[in-house]
Amino acid sequence: MTLTDSHQPKTSGAATKPAVFVDGASGTTGLGIQERLRLQNDVVVKSIAEDKRKDAGAKRALMEEVDLVILCLPDDAAKETVALIDSMGASAPKVLDASTAFRVASDWTYGFPELTPDQADKIKAARKVANPGCYPTGGIALLRPLVDAGLLQADYPVTINAVSGYSGGGKTMIASFEDGSAPSFELYGLGFEHKHLPETQLYSKLTRRPIFVPSVGNYRQGMLVSVPLHLDTLSGKPGGADLHAVLAKRYAGSSYVSVMPLENAATKGGRLEPEALNETNKLELYVFASEKHRQAVLVARLDNLGKGASGAAVQNMRLMLGLAEQ
C-alpha cells in the first residue's frame, strides 16, 4: 500500500519511517507490543513522560506528531482518548484500540485480517481498527468459514470451550498465580456475560448466542479454543474431511493461520497442549473427527499474548501503515 500525500509519515530524517505512540504500555499487551516494536527498524516509536501520561494537552501534542496511536487502556480510558483524537480533525492519527470498547462498533474495522479474503484490505484503508480478543480470534477463525460455506447453520447452538494461561487475566489474576494463592485450574465467566461474547457472535455470523466456557490454568501463556460438533446436526451432514476442506481453503496462503493436516490431528494421540506457539503470531487450526460416532471437535491453538493480543496488534499496525508483512 502506497501512502497518499495526505498520509505521509509525520517523521522526517531517515526519511519516511512512520511514527507510532503506544498509549498504556505497562500492561501485558502494551509491554508485548513494545517488545515486538523494538525488533523492527521501519517504525519510529515515540513515548510520553510518565508524569504527562494523563495530561490531555501533552498527549494531544504527541499524537499530532505520530501516524498511528495504539491504545492499551481500560475501556473508559480508551473512549476518552478516542474522543480526544476525534477532536483533532485533519491532524488526527490513525488509531488501533486493544480494549473491548469498539470491537462491535459499526464505524470501526475489526482487526482480524484473516476474517474474510478482503479484511486485510479493509484494515489497510481504515482510520480506526479494533484489535480482536484472544478467545474470539480462535473461535471466529474456526466458525466463520463454516457459516460462510453453509455447513454450520447461523442459528446452530454453538458451545465454545477454552483454556488460557493466566497472563490474559490482568494484574490481579497474574499476581494470584505467581504468589501461589490461585487454584491450579478454574472455570470462569459462568454468568454468561463474558466480554468476548458479542464480538464472537457478530463476526462468526451467528444469530444464536453461543455458550462460552473459558478457563484458566496455572501456566503463563498459551491458549486452546475448542468447538464440539455433532456432524449429523450440521447442514448436509458433512464429515470431518468436509469441515477441514472448508478451513483449508479459507486460510490457504495465510502467513499466520495454518490448518493442520487431518493426518497430523490423527497422530496427536488425542492430546493437544496449549503452549507450543508461545512468543509467535501464529494460529493453528485442527479438526478432530470420528466418522464412527459422527462427532467432531474443532480446536484453535494460539498464544494469548501473541496472535491473541500483541502480535495481532503489530500485524494490524503494519497493515494500517502500509508496511510490508513480516
When pLDDT is cut at 50, 70 and 90, the band that residue 14 belongs to is: very low
pLDDT value at position 251? 98
Least confident of 139-143, 178-182, 196-200, 260-264: 260-264
More confident residue, 159 or 172: 159
Burial of 294 (0-12, 13-18, 19+ CB in 10 A): middle
Are the CB atoms for 70 and 41 separated by under 8 Å? no
Over 70: is that where the pLDDT of 3 sits? Answer: no
Q: What is the pLDDT of residues 203-225, one digit of tens each?
A: 999 999 999 999 999 999 999 99
Number of H helices, E strands in the chain: 10, 13
pLDDT value at position 266? 67
pLDDT value at position 320? 98
**Phi (first) and psi of residue 118, to 5 degrees:** -105, 5
How crowded is residue 170: how many other Cβ atoms within 10 Å of its Cβ? 12
How crowded is residue 41: how many other Cβ atoms within 10 Å of its Cβ? 8
When pLDDT is cut at 50, 70 and 90, the band that residue 27 belongs to is: confident
pLDDT value at position 115? 98
Q: What is the pLDDT of residues 32-72, one digit of tens each?
A: 999 999 998 999 999 888 888 878 899 999 999 999 999 99
Q: Which of 25, 72, 134, 163 is catalytic?
A: 134
* Cα–Cα distance, 44 to 32 (Å, whole number): 16
* Cα–Cα distance, 210 to 108 (Å, whole number): 23
pLDDT value at position 4? 33
Cell 474431511 belongs to 241
How crowded is residue 108: how many other Cβ atoms within 10 Å of its Cβ? 18
Q: What is the pLDDT of residues 102-155, one digit of tens each?
A: 999 999 999 999 999 999 999 999 999 999 999 999 999 999 999 999 999 999
pLDDT value at position 270? 81
pLDDT value at position 269? 74
pTM score > 0.85 for this model?
yes
User: How is residue 53 written as a grid cell?
Assistant: 501520561
How crowded is residue 14: how many other Cβ atoms within 10 Å of its Cβ? 10
When pLDDT is cut at 50, 70 and 90, the band that residue 5 belongs to is: very low
Least confident of 144-158, 161-175, 277-291: 161-175
pLDDT value at position 123? 98
**Phi (first) and psi of residue 325, to 5 degrees:** -65, 145
Over 90: is that where the pLDDT of 172 sits? Answer: no
72 is catalytic: no
pLDDT value at position 1? 31
Share of the chain above pLDDT 90, in %: 83
Are the CB atoms for 23 and 49 separated by under 8 Å? no
Please report the domains of the chain, with CATH numbers, ordered by start residue: 5-132+309-320 (3.40.50.720), 134-304 (3.30.360.10)
CA dihedral 98, 104, 109, 114 (to 10 degrees): 80
Mean predicted lDDT score pLDDT of the chain: 92
When pLDDT is cut at 50, 70 and 90, the band that residue 11 belongs to is: low
